[in-house]
Amino acid sequence: MDMTIVYWLLVAVMVVGVIGAIIPGIPGSSLIVGAIIVWGAIYGFSSVSWALGVSVVVLLLSIGIDFLATYWGAQRAGASSWGQIGAIVGLTVGILGFLPALPFGGPLVGILLGPLMGAIAGEFLYRRELELTLRTKQALKAGVGIVVGSLVGRLIQGLLALAAVVVFLVTTWQLGTGA
């Protein structure tokens, strides 16, 4: 098989990885690392040492960003640990598809709505001492804060993933395209 075709197939896999870094439910930075490892196995790891190092750092940062961004969003919104646990439970339920079937969007919408609904439910249960209106308001604020933090984290992960792909392209362009 022509190496240029392999190169562009691996770049396509990396583009899916960039999309996955932003959209929950699709593998992200791990696809980029995997594609670079495949190229390194074919062409030699010395050709991808920088790209592989950067992509592994991006993968590790992405894991930390997920937690930190959600935590930051929860803290900014005044969410309790119940709200955070509710968001994790909601995400799990959304990923596994236990949310009722939605008329549009399917599992992706479930993955996005699950944490919001879980955070609201967790916070609502925790704030039992508050009057119903205040309780509902605080639960909604916490749920939105957690989701906004998570979305900000996803955008940061997408930018980091894109940077890893750019490093790969810059360091391997001549080998991959024959230019």
Of the two residues 26 and 34, the one the predictor is more confident about is 34
Token digits for 108? 């992706």
Share of the chain above pLDDT 70, in %: 90
pLDDT of residue 101: 54
* CB atoms closer than 10 angstroms to residue 162: 18
Over residues 35-91, the pLDDT tens digits come to 999 999 998 898 889 999 999 999 999 888 877 887 788 888 888 888 888 888 887
pLDDT of residue 69: 82
Whether residue 128 is predicted with pLDDT greater than 60 in this model: the reply is yes
Please give the mean pLDDT across all residues of the chain: 85
Q: Which long-range contacts (CB under 8 A, 24 or more apart) does 62-70 make?
A: 62/21, 62/28, 62/29, 62/157, 62/160, 62/161, 65/153, 65/156, 65/157, 65/160, 66/150, 66/153, 66/157, 68/153, 69/149, 69/150, 69/152, 69/153, 69/154, 69/156, 70/146, 70/149, 70/150, 70/153
Whether residue 142 is predicted with pLDDT greater than 90 in this model: the reply is no
**Prediction pTM value:** 0.78
